[in-house]
Amino acid sequence: EADIYQTPRYLVIGTGKKITLECSQTMGHDKMYWYQQDPGMELHLIHYSYGVNSTEKGDLSSESTVSRIRTEHFPLTLESARPSHTSQYLCASSVQEFTEAFFGQGTRLTVV
Amino acid sequence: QQQVKQSPQSLIVQKGGIPIINCAYENTAFDYFPWYQQFPGKGPALLIAIRPDVSEKKEGRFTISFNKSAKQFSLHIMDSQPGDSATYFCAAPSNTGKLIFGQGTTLQVKP
């Protein structure tokens, strides 16, 4: 079944640790996205990829980085986690920019 | 920075009622306006979307009404059910083509 997967679902980590949030999709979509969502708030685009080896930053400044070495995989990395990074991170993909975007279930990150 | 203004922030209706959620956007060169539905602990899922060559689009109990001159669009849920209780987000394309989401509306449908 075509889907988009995020791991882990929940992560509690100490300040200063390096973390990677995983995102994989089986739909063969070229476009992939990372959004940050605080509880009860809107989604903010933090990273975007047109395809393999193509990434750009979104509208919300983020200290995280991303890579797109394979079409299906779009991991997000924080080199040194801080409490201000506590949030929910949502990964999504779509065929084109203005078609349905499919979202993963999200990773809820807590930095203590 | 471009914004999408969504209202109300929260909404409570009785089963069978017709909740209406409104969104206003700024100038955009792109034509794609979706609504997403999000249940607690889940990612958002596309509910319905409109391209403004039409002023209204209906899918089942969900209807989008679009007013291009006013730069506004709204979601209507006919015969609302308790299972419709969720957070609803509208979105509109920015001038660079990226989707900007509204602040969300938390809907509660009472049995």
* Tokens at B6, concatenated: 């969504």
Residue B20 DSSP one-character state: E
Contact B104 A48 (CB under 8 A): no
Of A48, A58, A105, the CB nearest to B43: A105
Residues from A contacting B (CB-CB < 8 Å) are 6, 35, 40-45, 48, 58-59, 90, 92, 97-98, 100-106
Q: Is the pLDDT of residue B47 over 70?
A: yes
- Residues of chain A contacting residue B97, judged by C-beta atoms under 8 Å apart: 97-98
- Residues of chain A contacting residue B43, judged by C-beta atoms under 8 Å apart: 6, 90, 92, 103-106
Q: Is the pLDDT of residue B29 over 80?
A: no
User: Residue B68: what pLDDT?
Assistant: 87
Which residue of chain B is at minimal alpha-carbon distance from A49? B98
Which residue of chain A is at minimal alpha-carbon distance from B103? A42
User: Residue A2: what pLDDT?
Assistant: 56
Mean model confidence pLDDT for chain B: 92
Contact A106 B43 (CB under 8 A): yes
Mean model confidence pLDDT for chain A: 92
- Residues of chain B contacting residue A24, judged by C-beta atoms under 8 Å apart: none
**A26-71: pLDDT as tens digits:** 999 999 999 999 987 889 999 999 999 999 998 787 889 999 999 9
B3 vs chain A: nearest CA distance in angstroms?
A: 11
Q: For B46-78, b where at least 16 C-beta lie within 10 A, e where not — what string? A: bbbbbeeeeeebeeeebbbbbeeeeeebbbbbe
Which residue of chain B is at minimal alpha-carbon distance from A91? B43
Question: Taking CA A45 as the corner, what is the angle to CA A40 and CA A50, rounded to the nearest 5 degrees?
Answer: 145
Which residue of chain B is at minimal alpha-carbon distance from A32? B98
Q: Is the pLDDT of residue B111 over 60?
A: yes
pLDDT band at A72 (very low <50, low <70, confident <90, very high): very high
**B52-90: pLDDT as tens digits:** 788 999 999 999 999 988 999 999 999 999 999 999 999
Q: Which residues contact A64 (CB under 8 A, 6 or more apart)?
A: A34, A46, A47, A76, A77, A78, A85
- Residue with more model confidence, A8 or B97: A8
